[in-house]
């Protein structure tokens, strides 16, 4: 009986031998080379474990440093001093109230005793007439009125701060993320046009978990999707010329993907509506609204910036048959803290605070949930190019430690502002208007992927730029 020849070519020594497969690399090795191959894998595993242990050690050593503890002690001391100051003020006011009341009663008592002596004197001397009686009657009436209507005491609250306010300012000495200054073009960049490898004034962008990019291709009146590393995009909706039919768009300004129900929500700005695309079926969610930005919070509420009415409204998903709730602005067009002047992009954090790019006020405003007015967190010092200024801000994204990233459109740069700071710093761009890899031309939309790479809709260069994070 002939022996079955099961010899095959060894991947390592390239000889015909009895071989064994490696499931990881799908190659076949002879016994000796397989042993060596497994040893290499074991060495690599040990190397990874060693790196892991080093990282674990470094991580466990990351305890609050002396500066952190000093700041915390200062905050605790501020709290103690403020409470003591309030307690002392309350004590002083109480003493004034008690003293004032006692003084009033003492005055009444003195007048009463004087009158009592006069009555006793008149009775004793038994010499009195109508004039004396009228005097006594008037004095008694006067004291009665004083007793029934004492001098009023009230509390007056001034607008001047009673205790010194404090806030946390994140200085530039903190190590923030940095990005490569030369970008990679990941969509468009082939000139202005409507071919599948071209864009025409892209503005709003959204990137899903698979790094697929959804773009509001404004002047092509379409929403396009560029798969990760694709050389051209595909039309999701629109692209049927400018129009107001359900399959047409008119200058779409923003797009988000609701990844829970796999729908796409679009700002169809000049058609004055917000559209939802679900399973290729489009429906109008909100109409009669000129808006440029929208976002969704983690609770499923939809926020839309009303460009014309200078406000931001919030809707609960599925309840679009009402006017929504105003969460920012809504007090007319202006530059007061309770007003906006042409709001564009918006961002909502986990606390449902709303950040608004206030275009013509050249600032970014933060409105806490249920607040009656916002506060300036970026810009607000007039239009300009200084680090304390913005010019027509568009896209806004907020990350950890209150880091506010702003597409400073008129200055062709992306700025980082730390909440509480007077000035921002340039993240990318700021090298003059142009189409080089380190330049921008009216940036609009911003987005970070899960690896913190920064994507910028470079509107007038008709491209989408990716700035890779520096690890």
In a domain, 384, yes or no: yes
Instruction: Please report the pLDDT score of residue 5 as a whole number.
Output: 57
Domain match, 26 and 98 both: no
Please give the Cα distance from 214 to 115 (Å, whole number): 92
- Apex 186 CA angle, 180 and 188, nearest 5: 125
User: Above pLDDT 90, what percent of the chain?
Assistant: 52
The domain boundary, picked from 169, 193, 221, lies at 169
User: Residues 265, 294: contact at Cβ < 8 Å?
Assistant: yes
Say what the pLDDT of residue 67 is.
Answer: 63
Query: Distance (Å, rounded) from C-alpha 359 to C-alpha 342?
Result: 6
How confident is the model over 45-61, as pLDDT tens digits? 888 888 788 888 777 76
316 and 394 fall within a common domain: yes
Assigned domain for 83 exists = no
Q: What is the pLDDT of residues 165-216, one digit of tens each?
A: 776 665 544 556 899 999 999 999 999 999 999 999 999 999 998 899 999 9
Mean pLDDT of 314-332: 90
Q: Which residue has the tokens 């049927």?
A: 240
Tell which of 169, 193, 216 closes a domain: 169
Closest CA to 268 of 234, 307, 321, 313: 307
Give residue 15's domain range. Answer: 7-59
Q: With bands split at pLDDT 50, 70 and 90, how would you rate the model's confidence at 114?
A: confident
Specify whether 257 is located in the same domain as 338. Answer: yes
Of the candidates 388, 383, 458, the residue with the CA atom closest to the CA atom of residue 428: 458
Q: Would the pLDDT of 283 be above 70?
A: yes
Residues 360/349, Cβ–Cβ less than 8 Å: no
Domain count, the chain: 3
CA distance 348 to 255: 15
Do residues 249 and 276 lie in contact, with contact meaning Cβ atoms separated by under 8 Å?
Answer: no
**Has residue 143 got a pLDDT over 70?**
yes
Identify the CATH number of the domain in which residue 224 sits.
2.120.10.30
Please name the residue that has the structure tokens 């009125």.
145
Residue 319 falls within a domain, yes or no?
Answer: yes
> How far is the C-alpha of 116 from the C-alpha of 118, rounded, in Å?
5
Residue 21 covered by a domain: yes
pLDDT at 104: 74
Instruction: Verify that 350 and 454 share a domain, yes or no.
Output: yes
Classify residue 78: in a domain, yes or no. no
The pLDDT confidence band at residue 66, using thresholds 50, 70 and 90, is low
Q: Name which of 84-88, 173-177, 196-200, 340-344 the model is least confident about.
A: 173-177
Q: What is the mean pLDDT of the chain?
A: 87
DSSP state of 162: S
Contact predicate 464/205, CB 8 Å: yes
Q: What residues form DSSP beta bridges with 17?
A: 8
From 140, 169, 198, the end of a domain falls on: 169
Alpha helices in 61-157 (DSSP H): 66-125, 130-148
pLDDT(108) > 90: no
Stretch 299-324: mean pLDDT: 90
Please report whether residue 436 resides in a domain: yes
Does residue 176 fall inside a structural domain? no
- Do 132 and 277 fall within a single domain? no
Q: Is the pLDDT of residue 352 over 90?
A: yes
Q: Do 154 and 219 reside in the same domain of the chain?
A: no
Residue 64 inside a domain? The answer is no
15 and 114 belong to one structural domain: no
Are 205 and 297 part of one and the same domain? Answer: yes
Residues 400 and 285 in one domain: yes
* 157 shares its domain with 211: no
Same domain? For 108 and 202 the reply is no
- Are residues 262 and 306 located together in one domain of the fold? yes
Instruction: For strands 463-467 and 27-30, give the pairing.
Output: unpaired
More confident residue, 302 or 109: 302
Task: Give per-residue pLDDT as tens, 366-420.
Answer: 999 999 999 999 999 999 999 999 999 999 999 877 899 999 999 999 999 998 8
């Amino acid at each position: 009986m002939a022996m079955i020849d099961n010899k095959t070519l060894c991947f390592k020594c390239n000889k015909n031998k009895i071989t064994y497969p490696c499931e990881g690399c799908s190659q076949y090795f002879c016994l000796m080379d397989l042993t060596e191959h497994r040893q290499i894998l074991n060495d690599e595993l040990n190397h990874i474990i060693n790196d892991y242990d080093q990282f674990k050690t470094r991580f466990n050593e990351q305890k609050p440093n002396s500066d952190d503890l000093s700041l915390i002690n200062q905050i605790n001391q501020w709290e103690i001093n403020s409470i003591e100051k309030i307690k002392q003020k309350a004590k002083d006011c109480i003493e004034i109230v008690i003293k004032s009341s006692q003084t009033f009663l003492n005055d009444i008592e003195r007048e009463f005793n004087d009158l009592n002596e006069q009555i006793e004197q008149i009775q004793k001397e038994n010499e009195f007439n109508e004039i004396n009686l009228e005097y006594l009657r008037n004095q008694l009436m006067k004291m009665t009125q004083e007793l029934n209507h004492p001098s009023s005491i009230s509390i007056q609250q001034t607008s001047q701060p009673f205790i010194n306010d404090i806030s946390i300012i994140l200085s530039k000495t903190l190590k923030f993320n940095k990005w490569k200054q030369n970008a990679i073009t990941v969509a468009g960049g082939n000139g202005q046009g409507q071919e599948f490898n071209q864009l025409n004034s892209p503005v709003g962008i959204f990137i899903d978990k698979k790094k697929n990019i959804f773009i509001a291709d404004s002047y092509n009146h379409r929403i396009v999707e560029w798969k990760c590393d694709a050389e051209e995009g595909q039309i999701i909706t629109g692209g049927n010329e400018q129009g107001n039919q359900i399959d047409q768009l008119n200058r779409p300004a923003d797009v988000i993907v609701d990844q829970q129900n796999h729908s796409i929500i679009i700002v169809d700005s000049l058609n004055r509506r917000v559209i939802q695309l679900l399973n290729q079926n489009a429906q109008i969610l909100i109409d009669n609204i000129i808006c440029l930005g929208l976002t969704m919070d983690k609770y499923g509420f939809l926020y839309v910036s009303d460009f014309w009415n200078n406000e931001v409204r919030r809707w609960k998903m599925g309840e679009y048959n009402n006017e929504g709730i105003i969460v920012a602005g809504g007090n007319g067009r202006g530059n007061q803290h309770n007003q906006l002047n042409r709001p564009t992009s918006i961002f909502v954090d986990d606390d449902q605070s709303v950040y608004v790019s206030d275009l013509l006020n050249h600032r970014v405003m933060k409105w806490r949930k249920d607040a009656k007015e916002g506060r300036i967190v970026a810009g607000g010092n007039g239009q300009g190019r200084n680090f304390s200024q913005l010019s027509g801000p568009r896209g806004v994204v907020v990350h950890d430690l209150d880091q506010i990233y702003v597409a400073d459109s008129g200055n062709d740069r992306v700025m980082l502002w730390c909440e509480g700071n007077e000035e921002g710093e340039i993240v990318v761009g700021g090298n003059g208007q142009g189409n080089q890899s380190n330049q921008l031309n009216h940036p609009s939309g911003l987005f970070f992927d899960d690896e913190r790479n920064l994507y910028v809709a470079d509107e007038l260069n008709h491209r989408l730029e990716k700035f890779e994070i520096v690890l």
